[in-house]
Structure 1
Amino acid sequence: MPTIPVTCGTGTLGRQVTDRLHADGHDVRVLSRRSQPYAVDLRDGRGLDVAVEGVDTIAHCASTPRGGDDTAAGHLIEAAKRAGVPHLVHNSIVGVDRLPLGYYRIKHRVERMIEESGTGWTILRTTQFHDLVLRIVAGAARLPVMPLPAGVRMQPVDSGEVTDRLAELAASAPAGRVPDMGGPEIRALPELARACLGATGRKRPLMPVRLAGKAYAGYRRGDHLSPERAVGKATFEEFLAERFSRPE
């Protein structure tokens, strides 16, 4: 079985990928700033050479909207090249090449860096995770009236299903840019908000808000959606039912 390090292996997605790869019998190295014996810091590259020595594939799950993904990817790519790692798998986001957002521009830059790295690579773009949509709506629900961007639709996908796909790709040969992975339904944001309110037993009036800027225009066009790749299975309501049926 391949040896596969997972960057940010203690994070939301990385932890799921780590667990899935372990379950499939792979030798997994959890990479994070505090994980032993493979404590690494992607911000400056410390610990990476030891962490990727002799591995078959790297699953790169580390990302932050606070910035620095390109710096982290640069350190990881250089370490992978020094170690002769034959395969780097990376999860990205649908629309990074279309939406003029700073975080998306950096994510797109990371894609190009991996493509030009000279090592084997696989990149999977996905639509928004159910968890992200829940966080957006829950944040708006803190107010007496829920402000929501007018005319915006979402295509939430289950992070567990993305995990399964990433684990499959990490255990396979480099495949380049693979087909996008979108959730099963494209839904208006107010519909998703009402589903969240119903699942949590709250009531809030919704207030559509028209925003300015090219990014908002891109969201209204659906540049973050992948209707032709609606391959996810779990709906947003099924996610909510599972999340809020858990014992506290």
Structure 2
Amino acid sequence: MTTILVTGGTGTLGRLVTERLRADGHEVRVLSRRTPPYAVDLREGGAQLDAALAGAETVVHCASTPRGGDETAAEHLIAAARRAGVGHLVYISIVGVDRVPLGYYTSKLAVERLVEASGLGWTTLRATQFHDLVLTLLEGLAKLPVLPVPAGVWDQPVEVAEVADRLAGLALAAPAGRVPDLGGPEIRTFRSLAEAYLRATGRRRRVLEIPLLGRTYGAFRAGGHLTAERAVGKGTFEEYLGRRFGGGGSGG
């Protein structure tokens, strides 16, 4: 039995990773900002972080936020992992962090480099956007009288459970460095994803494609966040929507 610490272990991905590792009989410690007994803010570090890592053999680092602080959090985690003698640090990143000049992506890339230079055994997996994230975006946009989507942009959403399965497997294997990306099974226009959402929920909105400006938009239009050669996921966006909404909504 392996002792594994999962950061962000109460989040969308971390919770599933935790469940899979525990189902295999491993001792899993869940680290999050508010959940005892390992309630730690990685951006602050401290003695509680050292206590959470004591005796851990592997760390799966899922904690992340677009609001900033990921690099500081990683620095604290890596330093504490070194002190604890952790043998394997597994990190989940995003496809395109080296190609799309988005602030959050730049931070994720910086953390990748910190992990690589940590002196620990390490594994990094990049995945495309989760179905949950695409849905959250579309739900926010659908509050408007029309549903605006970025013109000329495609996406490749992946089922979060598949990413969790892959991460759990990597955590139980030897450090492997940068492993092949994990992308969803289909590369879809944002218009088609929006239309699928509207069908699933029974909502009525005109989908309006809006061209945007800037380097970040250009990188998304160029497909910097896609991995066509690694479209290995199985679950489709429609299947995900079917589980969330069943036969669809009643309009609105």
Could you say which residue in structure 2 is the equivalent of 1:108?
109
Provide, for residues 148-172 of structure 1, a one-character-per-residue CA deviation record: whole Å limited to 9, x for no partner: 1000000000000000000000111
Amino acid in the other structure paired with 1:84 = G
1:1-248 to structure 2, matched below 5 A, reads 1-46=1-46, 47-245=48-246
State how far apart, in whole Å, the 2-side matches of 1:139 and 1:204 are.
Answer: 13
- Per the TM alignment, residue 143 of structure 1 is displaced from its structure 2 partner at its CA by 0.6
State how far apart, in whole Å, the 2-side matches of 1:9 and 1:147 are.
Answer: 33
SS of the equivalent of 1:59 reads strand
Q: Tell me the number of residue pairs that the alignment of Structure 1 and Structure 2 aligns.
A: 246
Q: Name the % identity.
A: 65
Provide, for residues 152-201 of structure 1, a one-character-per-residue CA deviation record: whole Å limited to 9, x for no partner: 00000000000000000011110000000000000011000000000000
SS of the equivalent of 2:108 reads helix
Amino acid in the other structure paired with 1:29 = R
State how far apart, in whole Å, the 1-side matches of 2:45 and 2:179 are.
Answer: 28
Amino acid in the other structure paired with 2:21 = L
- Per the TM alignment, residue 33 of structure 1 is displaced from its structure 2 partner at its CA by 2.0
Amino acid in the other structure paired with 2:193 = L
Provide, for residues 193-243 of structure 1, a one-character-per-residue CA deviation record: whole Å limited to 9, x for no partner: 000000000111111111110000000000000000000000000010011
State how far apart, in whole Å, the 2-side matches of 1:236 and 1:102 are.
Answer: 26
- Per the TM alignment, residue 6 of structure 1 is displaced from its structure 2 partner at its CA by 0.5
Amino acid in the other structure paired with 1:27 = E
Structure 2: runs of 5 or more not aligned:
248-252
SS of the equivalent of 1:92 reads strand
Considering only aligned residues, what root-mean-square deviation do their CA atoms show, in Å? 1.0
SS of the equivalent of 1:202 reads coil
State how far apart, in whole Å, the 1-side matches of 2:39 and 2:148 are.
Answer: 42
Provide, for residues 54-101 of structure 1, a one-character-per-residue CA deviation record: whole Å limited to 9, x for no partner: 111001000000000000000000000011101000100000001111
- Which ranges of 4 or more aligned residues in structure 1 deviate by more than 4 Å? none
SS of the equivalent of 1:28 reads strand
Structure 1: runs of 5 or more not aligned:
none
Q: TM-score, normalised by structure 1?
A: 0.97
- Structure 1 window deviating more from structure 2 (182-191 vs 47-56): it is 47-56
